[in-house]
Structure 1
Amino acid sequence: MTGFALGESIPPDTAHAVSVSLPTWSANIGYEEGQDWVIGRMTIGYPRFFIHKSIQAFANDLVQKFGPPSSKAMLFPTRQIAARCVAFLTSRAPPALTANLAVIHLTLDTASPSAKTLALFSPAISAVLCSPDAFPFAKEYWQHAGDGISSRRAEFCHGLFRDGLLRLDDDGKQKKPCRGPRRYQKGQSIDDGKPTVVAREEAAQEEESRFLEERFGRNLDVSFVEAAKSAIRRRIAGALRGDHELGGVAPLPDMKTNSRGIVELREDDIYLFPCGMNAIFNAHRALLGVRGGMKSINFGFPYVDTLKILQKFGPGCLFYGHGSDEDLDALEARLRGGERFLALFCEFPGNPLLACPDLGQIRRLADEYDFALVVDETIGTFANINVLQFADVVVSSLTKIFSGDCNVMGGSAIFNPSGRYYAALKAFAQREFEDTYWAEDVIFMERNSRDFVSRIDRVNANAEAIAGVLRCHPLIKRIYYPQYVESRKNYEACKLPGGGYGGLLSVTFHDRTKAVAFYDAIETAKGPSLGTNFTLVSPYVLLAHYQELEWAASFGVEPDLIRVSVGLEETGHIVKVFESALEAAEKGATLA
């Protein structure tokens, strides 16, 4: 998968793609600096950083109808989430910017003959209306929490709104329900002009059929959504293997076994979220809810928004950015001195340095000093490693290798039934959990993930082959891959007997100009995200930490680091692609 134009979706011609082509080093810088020659050509972007055009269009229409002309809208799936956004805004924005905040709620017009079918999707929208000056704070919440609506939800609900099938809900004070265009209204008897049971039923069935055909297409069976969620949860547990496809909507039998090593694990211990960061956000929110307002610990250099969540929501966090044995000793000294914490959050392995903390030692400290352990297994994947044996909560971004197709977002959290906080977390979830994973996204995720396990072996093999080429090349300063990092022993302690070292690696070059030449020359897809079925290369630190490069460098994360997410290409071919890019870098060739 090569040859993408600047700003083109990755995959190409994909309306809900997760990545966007930034094919040169300078294009990445232009994106970060907001230069029009880049931003103006972007058809799409990573969904938590770039507001999808379908969402923008819906927001603009809501502002036009309900808000002052100069206002902006941020869209959320429920009123509770919108309220959290408002609370964040009022706590962080200057008071003058929050004086005129407004929230509107749109719900389905239950008088519509299609209402019964449409209600299966809970097509509600809550919009926070604010001034342009306050909007960056709303976007900050949206990015960190991952609570915004998906682009597929936006398209669906925008269609309902335009057709008059979403009504303003102001806690029982809404105006008379709008029944929408004539084609959605109930049928009339030809004989006397009065509705008849037959006419109503036939009209409703006809309109429901037409609506679903238009909105979903022939291949989306709406009755399949709950079964699809069940299949996804069971794959995450390791209880549904291979290319198994569900044959109907009947509940699956109870799980008898799983690959997680926790006998008591049940399907309802696994929660699905609209994206991986939302799983992390809600894990943190749940722990605050059951254990109170204590600081957390971020151990190891994390993906950017994980640290932001811990810093900005709640009383803050203690950050050990190296995640080294020395950091672990320093943490233990604090604990012995009487300091207490809510939870320790870590990635296994970390992004982008692929380092692995000592989960066994952390588990010992957690048991002795009473804090929770939350492990993000996105990069390692449960097909390669088992971290639930150590963690109270395991989170993951399903957007990545679990999906692979780069066209849908998703996230998950597992509550370990053997953990000391399990009962309290389950009680919190029963009170507070909102299932906001949009039906269409569920369907795509279930389909994409059917061959997840079989794809992992190929990705592992390709990544090891590429790592072998890079680590021996004289231009390469250092390679970061679980097989070669100093913390390999920690990875091996969690590695499954048939597991590999994953599909993500990073490299740095001795000479920055060679790094730029390599990136510009390599003939792969180039853009944000990871875990795609095709190899995807990114100057990760530029994209994730452009405004804080010196800070990142202080933890060993160099600004010119290049991250490689390895795909399913034929091994010999993808190795040659990297060898050719190295040859171009040696010659100083660049397409910039």
Structure 2
Amino acid sequence: MQSFGLGESIPPDTAHAVSVSLPTWSANIGYEEGEDWVISRLTTGYPRFFIHRSIQAFAAELAEKFGAPGANLKAMLFPTRQTANRCATFVRSRAPSEDTVGLSVVNLVVDQTSPSAKALQLFCPAVSAVLCSEAAFPVAKQYWQHSGDGVSSRRAEFCHGLFRDGLLKLDDGPKSPSQKPCRGPRRYQRPNSLDQGRPNGGSSPVSPAPVAAPGEEFQETSRFLEERFGRNLDASFVEPAKSAIRRRIAGAMRGNHELSKSPLPEMESNSRGVTLREDDVYLFPCGMNAIFNAHRALLGARSSDLKSINFGFPYVDTLKILEKFGPGCVFYGNASESELDDLESKLKSGERFLALFCEFPGNPLLTCPNLTRIRQLADTYDFAVVVDETIGTFANINVLPYADIVVSSLTKIFSGDCNVMGGSAIFNPHGRYYSALKDFARRELEDTYWAEDVIFMERNSRDFASRIDRINVNAEAICDVLKTHPLVKSLFYPRYVKTSENYEICRLPGGGHGGLVSVVFNEKTQAVAFYDAIKTAKGPSLGTNFTLTSPYVLLAHYQELEWAAGFGVDPSLIRISVGLEETAHLVHVFRTALRAAEKSVASTK
């Protein structure tokens, strides 16, 4: 396996890599403590925690150009006026009033007087910047991290080039009612578009492209990209790529299918157990943005006064979304039957809730909530169920029959290549809130998934199903190595945890148990020795095509380790995202690391 130096991107030499190498236990602590010997060497980082260099550069230029002289403002970049306005509203509500002086939103759109406007129109390359003081910037960064609304690094890079070439200009006012959203080519404008049915034609800040002969706009765009930016991006594939991604998520397309430039026929069968249309699947720029917008949709479709439920130990930002956006939430951190008993008692006494959010399995303990009972409670007491299937993956499990919305981070195993972000949400057409959710989506949801990211995601995901099979096998082999070792205190994997029956109820015929394994050693020193010795990539994220190891709790909960421990999440837990390597080689790598842990025991005697 390839070794990675401190701060190197994972994968190496990848401009838009999703992970970064933290090869030792001390490097992870140094990262969390902000120590210069670590921070100064980071070439990148996980995109919702580390602002990509291309985004930083563009933001600094916009802050300097549009901020008042001497104001020393900073900028946070978003893809649309609406997303930026939400951030500005969040900052005003949470930062001291004296820190919000100078807070403003700057919107940049294509200069329609430019000869290149028509070519650019297919990409809707808009950017909005929230300008704020240095004191208010940490609050803006909270919104950026929790919501996932920020621009992707590829969008920032592309739009920065346009800005420097004078092709983006200020858009000073709201859109006129006569303007329509940027939807791409007419032959891909179907009733299932996110933009269909929006009042006043939608909310995209870019006006429509002039009518062109069939194929003309694609030829012009491809020529423009090649001549001006050297891009290998065929605009004619963007819309069919979105269609292919949605169909894979719906379970209606498996295998390595080449794209066609013609619209695909209506979906027929799928593996979800529920009849779906393509427009029931929504794409977002990252997984957290899918969760954020699922929460927004439920608040808009049902009631903005009802609290939600976070059921099970959460991914950090899911809980933050439920706490900070809306009336708050009730937190059950163990996803246990006794906690369901408590919830049922609350419901019987008259308490009502907006929705229950859970992961299946949970991260990092890989336990699974009782979806059958949760669904029964939801039907009886009128609340929605949102299930995050990222770790289980829909190639292994089917949770849609139990959920009103199923969300997933496509950044993870669906992509695998660790070089692009993405997220999805499925609205269950059999759910009682389906019509209200669809109405909200037509009014409020924007398609902000950047074209280049779409192309990368579609290409990466073509062999998704076959990769899952290999990863399932490798994960089982690693568990066989770890579960009987005397230094291993606890092994967490859906097949072996006490909630395995809940997983089996949702497991598909032929499905496995996924590619995520967590391990706790008897002593912290053993965990440190194992982590430092293991010859895999080491950094944040999961679901990569290569095995990726992380002291997950340190990275996700460093400021709240005691709190996490209260829910059985050991601070020294090591999380292993299993890859596609040859099985025997992986087994050798793990046995070698275990020998290093054994030596640490001997050295302390």
| Secondary structure class of the residue paired with 2:429 | coil
Structure 1 pair 333–356 and aligned structure 2 pair: CA distance change class (3 A): same
Q: Is the 8 A contact 1:156 1:215 kept in 2?
A: no
Report matched runs for 1:72-221 at 5 Å: 72-171=74-173, 211-213=224-226, 217=230, 219-221=232-234
Counterpart pick for 1:464 among 476, 491, 507: 476
Which amino acid counterpart does residue 310 of structure 1 have in structure 2?
Answer: L
- Per mean C-alpha deviation after superposition, the further-off stretch among 272-281 and 86-95 is 86-95
Structure 1 pair 110–339 and aligned structure 2 pair: CA distance change class (3 A): same
Which amino acid counterpart does residue 275 of structure 1 have in structure 2?
Answer: C
Counterpart pick for 1:410 among 422, 427, 431: 422
The alignment status of 1:291 with 2:291, answered yes or no, reads no
* C-alpha deviation, 1:233, in angstroms: 0.1
The alignment status of 1:300 with 2:312, answered yes or no, reads yes
Q: Distance in 2 between matches of 1:61 and 1:241?
A: 44
* C-alpha deviation, 1:92, in angstroms: 1.0
Q: Is the 8 A contact 2:413 2:543 kept in 1?
A: yes
State the match for 2:250 in structure 1.
237
Q: Distance in 2 between matches of 1:481 and 1:172?
A: 51
Counterpart pick for 1:335 among 341, 347, 368: 347
* C-alpha deviation, 1:295, in angstroms: 0.2
Which amino acid counterpart does residue 357 of structure 1 have in structure 2?
Answer: P
* C-alpha deviation, 1:352, in angstroms: 0.3
Cα offsets for 1:481-504 (capped at 9, x unmatched):
000000000000000011000000
State the match for 1:30 in structure 2.
30
The alignment status of 1:273 with 2:284, answered yes or no, reads yes
Q: Distance in 2 between matches of 1:544 and 1:215?
A: 41
* C-alpha deviation, 1:217, in angstroms: 4.4
Q: Is the 8 A contact 1:273 1:436 kept in 2?
A: yes
Q: Distance in 2 between matches of 1:381 and 1:330?
A: 29
* C-alpha deviation, 1:219, in angstroms: 3.7
| Secondary structure class of the residue paired with 1:477 | strand
Structure 1 pair 164–363 and aligned structure 2 pair: CA distance change class (3 A): same
Q: Is the 8 A contact 2:517 2:577 kept in 1?
A: yes
| Secondary structure class of the residue paired with 2:470 | helix
Q: Distance in 1 between matches of 2:220 and 2:510?
A: 52
Provide the identity percentage. 76
Runs of 4+ in 1 over 3 A off after TM superposition: 204-211, 214-219
Cα offsets for 1:423-472 (capped at 9, x unmatched):
00000000001000000000000000000001000000000110111111
Which amino acid counterpart does residue 332 of structure 1 have in structure 2?
Answer: E
* C-alpha deviation, 1:3, in angstroms: 1.0
Cα offsets for 1:291-323 (capped at 9, x unmatched):
112100000001000000000000000000011
State the match for 1:180 in structure 2.
none
Q: Is the 8 A contact 1:113 1:207 kept in 2?
A: no
TM-score (norm 2): 0.91
State the match for 2:186 in structure 1.
none
* C-alpha deviation, 1:335, in angstroms: 0.4
Q: Distance in 2 between matches of 1:128 and 1:312?
A: 19
| Secondary structure class of the residue paired with 1:344 | strand
* C-alpha deviation, 1:215, in angstroms: 6.1
Q: Distance in 2 between matches of 1:235 and 1:225?
A: 16
Which amino acid counterpart does residue 280 of structure 1 have in structure 2?
Answer: I
State the match for 1:223 in structure 2.
236
| Secondary structure class of the residue paired with 1:404 | coil
Structure 1 pair 208–415 and aligned structure 2 pair: CA distance change class (3 A): closer
| Secondary structure class of the residue paired with 2:122 | helix
Structure 1 pair 367–206 and aligned structure 2 pair: CA distance change class (3 A): closer
| Secondary structure class of the residue paired with 1:103 | strand
Structure 1 pair 207–365 and aligned structure 2 pair: CA distance change class (3 A): closer
Cα offsets for 1:5-37 (capped at 9, x unmatched):
000000000000000000000000000010010
* C-alpha deviation, 1:572, in angstroms: 0.5
* C-alpha deviation, 1:211, in angstroms: 3.3
Q: Distance in 1 between matches of 2:146 and 2:474?
A: 32
Q: Is the 8 A contact 2:218 2:236 kept in 1?
A: no
The alignment status of 1:376 with 2:380, answered yes or no, reads no
Q: Is the 8 A contact 2:222 2:235 kept in 1?
A: no
Q: Is the 8 A contact 1:18 1:45 kept in 2?
A: yes
* C-alpha deviation, 1:99, in angstroms: 2.5
* C-alpha deviation, 1:209, in angstroms: 5.3
State the match for 2:21 in structure 1.
21
Q: Distance in 2 between matches of 1:261 and 1:154?
A: 39
Q: Distance in 2 between matches of 1:468 and 1:315?
A: 45
State the match for 1:367 in structure 2.
379
Q: Is the 8 A contact 2:218 2:235 kept in 1?
A: no
* C-alpha deviation, 1:111, in angstroms: 1.2
**What do you get for the CA RMSD once the two structures are aligned?**
1.6
* C-alpha deviation, 1:80, in angstroms: 0.6
Aligned residues: 559
* C-alpha deviation, 1:2, in angstroms: 2.6
* C-alpha deviation, 1:290, in angstroms: 1.0
* C-alpha deviation, 1:206, in angstroms: 10
* C-alpha deviation, 1:210, in angstroms: 5.1
Structure 1 pair 215–276 and aligned structure 2 pair: CA distance change class (3 A): farther
TM-score (norm 1): 0.93
| Secondary structure class of the residue paired with 1:462 | helix
Q: Distance in 2 between matches of 1:124 and 1:156?
A: 10
Which amino acid counterpart does residue 244 of structure 2 have in structure 1?
Answer: A
Counterpart pick for 2:591 among 572, 575, 579: 579
Q: Which runs of 5+ in 2 are unaligned?
A: 176-216
Q: Is the 8 A contact 1:93 1:134 kept in 2?
A: yes
The alignment status of 1:536 with 2:538, answered yes or no, reads no
Q: Is the 8 A contact 2:226 2:232 kept in 1?
A: no
Which amino acid counterpart does residue 274 of structure 1 have in structure 2?
Answer: P
* C-alpha deviation, 1:346, in angstroms: 0.1
Structure 1 pair 397–207 and aligned structure 2 pair: CA distance change class (3 A): closer
